[in-house]
Amino acid sequence: MPPVERPLPPYMQVVVALRSAIESGRYQPGDLLPSDREIAAEWGVSRATAQKSLAALRSEGIAEAQVGVGTRVVALPTPRHASGQDHAVSVRRSGRIYRQGEYARIVSAEIAPAPADVAEVLGIEEGTDAIKRVRVTYGPDDIPGSASTSWFRGEWAEQAPQLLVTERIVQGTWAYIEEQTGLSVAAGQDRISVRLATEEDSELLGLTLPAAVKVSRTILRDVDSTVVEYGVSVSGAGRESVYDYDVSA
């Protein structure tokens, strides 16, 4: 039998929340983070757990302890590349696809013939009409962090017409498809690889060629394994992906 999946331990849930608050600009370098007493009261954890959370942030180098004062932010985390999992969690928790401070510009939204790799994932014939949306995502620093292309089945154009409009869909494209079609996204998969940047990557992200980029391919499926969205996201150097996970027995 497969093992039962466990959520992150309590102290790491606090770490993730505080790190996200720092990334979003809620806490700036020089600002004091909540004390262990405040964390314990807000999160309903013990002071020992709260202290462990603050210690973890200090070990990451983004906070430091000042005697008689508290724990102060000393540096911003390395800019992150949000994965498909990051976006999916954000949609389910907040109803919004982007974290605070992030925003996107929709470059194009159109019907296009599906390339071979897209057709294989969507389960359609190569060259069949599919919906293609291209966007560039920016961080709080207004610097492009990633360029992504999302593909959807062409027959959804009538049910979900906003997919063909070059305006942001606040709740995210797949959450919008859920609303319009009755499908329910139940599982996602991220596939990560590295390649050299193309001219298109350079234009969208402002890269100087030659440059290496990270490519994240995200597949979201409903409970019947129907692919709801196939997305390909490209990010340049200077951004890292962070995955927090539990490895306890």
User: CATH 1.10.10.10 occupies which residues in the chain?
Assistant: 10-73
Q: Which two tokens stand for residue 142?
A: 């207004």
Phi, psi values for residue 188, rounded to 5°: -140, 155
pLDDT given at position 83: 60
Global confidence as pTM: 0.68
Residues 6+ away with beta carbon under 8 Å from 81? 145, 146, 214, 216, 233, 235, 239, 240, 241
Domain 84-235 listed as CATH 3.40.1410.10 = yes
DSSP-assigned letter for residue 92? H
pLDDT given at position 1: 39
3 state DSSP class of 232: strand
pLDDT given at position 5: 46
Max CA distance (Å), the chain: 66
User: CATH 3.40.1410.10 occupies which residues in the chain?
Assistant: 84-235
3 state DSSP class of 106: strand
Identify which of 39, 99, 93 has the alpha carbon closest to the alpha carbon of residue 63: 39
Report the helix count and the strand count for the chain, using DSSP H and E. 8, 8
- Evaluate whether 213 touches 201 at the Cβ level (below 8 Å): yes
- CA dihedral sign of residues 84, 87, 88, 89: positive
Q: Which two tokens stand for residue 20?
A: 């996200």
Identify which of 75, 131, 143 has the alpha carbon closest to the alpha carbon of residue 103: 143
List alpha helices for 95-172, DSSP H: 116-122, 156-159
DSSP-assigned letter for residue 210? S
- A 10 A CB-CB count for 149 gives 19
Task: Please tell me the class of the 10-73 domain.
Answer: mainly alpha
Instruction: Please list the pLDDT of the chain residue by residue as tens digits (249 residues).
Output: 344 445 678 888 898 888 878 877 788 889 999 999 999 999 999 999 999 999 989 988 889 998 888 999 987 666 565 666 666 565 556 565 666 667 889 999 999 999 999 999 999 999 999 999 999 988 777 888 889 999 999 999 999 999 999 998 888 898 899 999 999 888 888 898 999 999 999 999 889 999 999 999 999 999 888 899 999 999 887 777 777 666 655
Cα→Cα distances 120→114, 201, 219, Å: 9, 23, 12
Cα 91–chain centre separation: 10
Cα 243–chain centre separation: 11
pLDDT given at position 87: 61
